[in-house]
Structure 1
Amino acid sequence: MKRVCWLLVLVLAVPAVAQQPPAWDISNTYWTAQIRDVLLGYTYDGNIRFFSMNTSTGEFTGRVQYLPPNLNPLGQYNVSGRVEGDNISFRGIANIPGLGNTDVVWVGTVTQNGARLEGQMAYWDWLWEVWVMFTWRTTSGGPARPIVRTYAISGKVTLEEFIGDLSTVAVTVQLRPAGSLNPIRTAVLNLDSAGNYTLPEVPNGTYDLAFQASHWLRRLVRNVTVSGANVTGVNVSLTNGDVNGDNEVGLLDFGLLTAAFNTQPGDAAWNPNADLNGDEEVGLPDFSVLVRSFGLAGDD
């Protein structure tokens, strides 16, 4: 019973947090550490080496060694544990002369932007039936690496006044910080036959998405927030008629469409961007599309 109570004291000494994915990757890191006996004030030096880690679950393996081992009865032993958010916990079984195998429990946090680990440690003393308490902190080594998690933004692109195969149209999207004109990433989206798209690998943040296709005006979707989950339903409708791709519909587009009038694929004057409605020929329906959009400009 004493053993359980003291273990609860150790665990409760660290702020409780809801289970969450790990914020730090500690795999393949080596740390030197100081371990201080809370009751007697003795300080021991040691090192902690973390081996493999699952960055999805936070589970890891490692090894603790006190330096030099003959100055501390705990010696060296393997450990396993988990990182949850900024919190780290692990345990192992050490062989203590006169006590035999005994549990050793570590809890702590990742601090200083991954440069330090610190917390509390205890081992079970079978003779006195108490947990012997220590504090610990790393003095060098690491660092822990932040885990950047990414998510997907998905939705539907409507290409106005187009009867062709949507899956053949390349749609470019710029991912911009909200309120900025400077993209942090540009991607080409592959639409399915219904116009659906997915933009993968987007980290947490608030973004503006700028969509544009070959003869459609740019359209901005503002303030799309990614916060720990995929975002769906980011839909956009693009205005047709920009034959020359300058993000406005005007006389230059009219001239290019006129030059390609009454042509089909394979003709010398064929211009695929003048085939605004996607019916594989440039004719009166394309002029109608341009007239309806004449004078319009896309978003910046």
Structure 2
Amino acid sequence: MILMSDAAQNLVVMSESAPESPQPPAPPPAPSSLAARLVNVYATPGDVFEEVARSPRDNGNWVLPLILTAIMSVVFCFVVFSQENVMRNFHQTQEQAIRDQVKAGKVPADKADDIVEAARKWMSPTIMAAFGSVGSLIATVGGVFFVALILMLLGRYALNAEVEFMKMAEVSGLAAMIALVGTVAKMFVVMATGRMELGVSPAALVEDFDPGNHTHALLGILDLSMIWYVAVLSAGLARVCGKPWWRAAAWLYAIWLVFAAGMAAVAYLGARAH
């Protein structure tokens, strides 16, 4: 009995001292739907791109946003060029350019009216919308992949991360949902002002916007939709590369500012030339 009691005690001690079996790891969160990602990129882009970073490649992340932004770009062209104030400003700018050519002796004065009339005939709202739509479609498709290329190069050579081009295309595509909202906002600004060069910036509040005025040109750079877009792109680049947001943002905002300043400078010099 004593031996059995000792053996039982040893079993009890061994069972108490035995290590507990490890708990199984928590299962990864269920992937969200594509529709949820397209909506959540507006409110919680960090979470969306965290999921993109850890998930297998999903071409839907760039295909559907590309389709939506392409449709919106076509709508933008047909709506904007149907506005009387937009076409009036466009024709006035065109006629002024022809007058400048006459003053410079490059166009005979007796041919100026015929050129203006021909230009008005060929630059009708329908033709402008059609050509604008084709250009917008090319820019939309090319833009998604060009931005993806920039992100891939920054990820590899600036942030020292191994990133794939198509993964960056997913980031670029999802961020294009911000650009879609920016296009809608710009459409209403252009409809209200009649000026194609204005966007969602303080320049839209200037009564007589003049791209040849350096202050107006600087105000035009501060496009709120672009600031938001670059912030979301930075979140995507940072999450996929596993780096802090500010490191990605520093590079992307610098690139955007250089590009925006260059475009403003071209518009400024072009306006001053007239």
TMscore range, shorter length = under 0.3
Query: Which has the larger share of helix?
Result: 2
Structure showing greater relative contact order (alpha-carbon pairs closer than 8 Å, 6 or more residues apart): 2
Instruction: Return the TM-score normalized by structure 2.
Output: 0.20
Query: Which has the larger share of strand?
Result: 1
Larger radius of gyration: 1
